Structure 1
Amino acid sequence: MHFQVFGQSSDDEIKNEVRVVARVQKGKVLLRWAVSTSSAWLKANKHGYKIDRYTVSRDGQLLSPPVKTTLTSVPLLPYPVAQWEEAVNTNDYAAILAQALYGEGFQVEQMEGGLAQIINKSREIEQRFSFGLYAADMNFEAAKMGGLGFEDTNIVSGEEYLYSVETLVPVDLLKIEPGSVSVKVKDPEPLPVPLDLYAVPNDKNILLTWEYEMFKGIFTSYYLERSENGNDFQRLGDTPLVNLNDRPGSPAKRMFYVDTLSQNNKTYYYRVKGISPFGEISPPSEVVSGQGIKKLSAVPHISRHTFDASGGVNIQWDFPKETENEITGFELDWAAQEKGPYKTVKTGISKSSRNTTYSEPEPSNYFRVTALGKNNQKTTSLTAFVQTIDSIPPAAPVGVVGIVDSLGVVKLNWTANTEKDFLGYRVFRGNLEKEELSQITISPVGENTFQDTIQVKSLNSKVFYQVVAVDKRFNMSDYSEKLALKKPDVVPPSSPVFKEYKVQRKGVFIEWINSTSDDVVSHKLYRQNVKMSEQGWQSIFVTDTVTSYTDSSVEAATKYRYAIFAEDDSGLQSAPSTPITITSQKSTDAELIKGFSLVADRVNKNISISWRKMPKEVIEIIIYKSKKEGKPVLFKQMPNTINRIVDSSISPGNTYVYSLKAITKNGNHSKVETKEVIF
């Protein structure tokens, strides 16, 4: 198991837990553990760890219940600072772990300000945690001193144990899940040998790479060794190599190391050894060798191309004559698109050649020439584009048909083109019949079918499509016939709008503006008696294009509410217009006014207006006044108890007109009586 935590995620993203590994050695079991977060590590360093061992089987027989043995009589804590002095002087990893545990400062990138200090402190804790676990990974003695390792020497061969390691941090302070590992006591197994070591030569350096993922639970780091004679190996550096490319969610598969050389053409030998979490060093890997090689610097350059009589393309290039001794020959690569993929179409071209012929060109061709170095090196020219002559477009697609389902999914198909150089189709779409359609395909589609998705809930009732065929020279055919597809009608028509109304003797006149939707087949006018709204709405008029109606079936002095709807050819009904409320005209049939007379008194300069006393059903009398040819205005409103008044607001030489109207208890009004007098 691997404990080093460089580049790990933040504590908030990792579960607080103990992770344990074990290794059987002669006469003892070695335990190594670590907590998963820096916050858990800080608290565990203060409160310590407890180790329990459960004997689960003996000589192949399961024990029920298992025999529990507590291996730590007191909490297992890091050594006090005073006990580290001797180890620090002789063990670099003990020095690192001691500094992580007790050092006054741990260098991190400094920032300024209050928030920066908090960030710096957090970074310092993370680095202490990371380097502390790294040091414990590298040296088991340091791990034991740091409270992260333990040796169980009281073991019996043939028994199987389950070790449980838990922190003694109070749960209310931080909940940390314990860790466990099972071990069968038997002869120690040797560490495996690192595998798949390769040496890749380059100019004054060699890239070394070997398998990492398979042994990441066994080896925490590696020593890489080099020899000049294949026998006497020395380590490349005193510090073990750690894979810093291993990330949660993106595990590394191999280790890589570049060994810089002082010269080329000298053979070096390499081997690698793995280091376990208990400080054990594995047997060496197989030995590989390599030597630095001079980099191939010359690059071919395609200078021109010509067509021969049979239609083949002759490619010519330049390459320095003095560099021919560094290569074995050339290759020709071809692709239909500049971005590739490229395939090698000509091999075995001699190093003295500077041209070759490709006999089966396509309408569009991209060529590269590659020089092959003697040491498996390659240099490749820039791409050259060669286009064969072709100006004849394919035939326009025919037989374009399609359907639209209720979800707006459009399925189109048409008769396939048969041209030899045919590439694909471009599909165009629009919402108006007379507009220019827009392309909706990014690159030509190879099949003679296409699926599209449209908005069903829109104001356009139809959608239009055209298809164009494209050949490999990107010559475009004429457009196909325009296909019009009716959308499923799920959008109700727009609402009519009331324009005007008039209350007349013969009824209520209403005028409206019809719905603007083009698929409307009828407009329906509804009426509701406001006082009897529980009876609901009543349809009183249905029309297609008429925009007015006189409702002559109303009762006198009654309040009505009107609304109008539009309905389309799919039976969808619009939202109602904004309703209007109208009160019908009151009755004018009653002849209640009797004895209405006007008397001019020129001596006293007034006009006396009188009438006979009216029935008890009359509650109000209204008088209008005007001069001859003038507009009547309200003059007086009086109760039924009065039947005579005097008008003194007059002047000689005028003709005055008076109109009298009576209002009854039920809201009806009488016929208007009008008289005039010359003063």
Structure 2
Amino acid sequence: MKRYGILLIGLLAILFMFCEPTTSVDNDINDSDTTAPAIPTGLVKDLYGSIEDTIKIVWDENSESDFSNFKVYRASGMDSLPLYELITETYYTSHTDVGMSYDTTYYYRISAIDKNNNESERCGALACLAENIYDPATPVGLTAYGYNIPEIAAPHIKLSWSANVESDFSHYRIYRDIDPSFPASEDYLLSKNTELSYTDYDVTIGETKYYRITAVDKGLKESNLTRDKSDAPLPQPVLVYPDSSGTSYTKNPAFQWERINGASRYKVILQKTYSGDQEWVGEIEQQSTDIITLEGVPELNAEIEYFWKVTVYSSDNTVENTHSRTWGFKTPL
């Protein structure tokens, strides 16, 4: 019997070893607990974390064993309890607001919550202002390209640039003049713009316009001016040779047209039909002569009608500024 008793005791020990409790008790949760945590203390503005349109507040930890989290309340413009709104709940002892207005005073109050959802009274109000310290960065990537393509749009100059990344960015100011290196004054202000491009239709064919832009933040601080960029919608080139509806002297003619002031380069496009079917393309940089001549076309088929036009480029633009009319000519025998 003693042996059976020992076996029974061993079996019970093994059962207790592998059995776990089916329920657990959180000693911090007590439905009868109606005592709120202590009111949070030490609420201040973090001067190092509060830069430009950012406001950061910090406060002390609560020490209750059943502490759960804090609630952050904010009012705008006036320290009046009905104006306070709950903006976040957090376990941490800090909170950061971004995108705040420079002309508004913000008021903050903090309360503490325990695990039984008891909430303390809110602490005394902390008044904060966002401080506009730095000018925005000067915009980068400004380009200005002129266009004169009558079948698409009126003559214009298209500006574009890269985005500023400041959180308190407001808008861009675009300045224009007929001479370079002008100041940022109202006399030269063309437009205020929140987009990354602007199209200027108030232009004259052949007249160069100079542009500079600045960035402005919500506190109306303005960046330095960009370097000026310039261009003009150019006049359409006048073709000279081969004559329209004429016959070229050779089967590999040299193409000629009148020089365009302000052009950087030209392309001659030779086609088999009026509307396309490209045969050959030649390119030449701007020349000092009044008549531009481009040679090098391969020998063409005899007694065939071909069509040609000149496209004109300005500045470093890879898109044509303008183009000529399309002329047709025949090759000789």
Larger-gyration structure (1/2): 1
* Structure number with higher relative contact order (C-alpha < 8 Å, ≥ 6 residues apart): 2
TM-score (norm: length of structure 2): 0.47
Bigger helix share: 1
TM-score (norm: length of structure 1): 0.27
Bigger strand share: 1
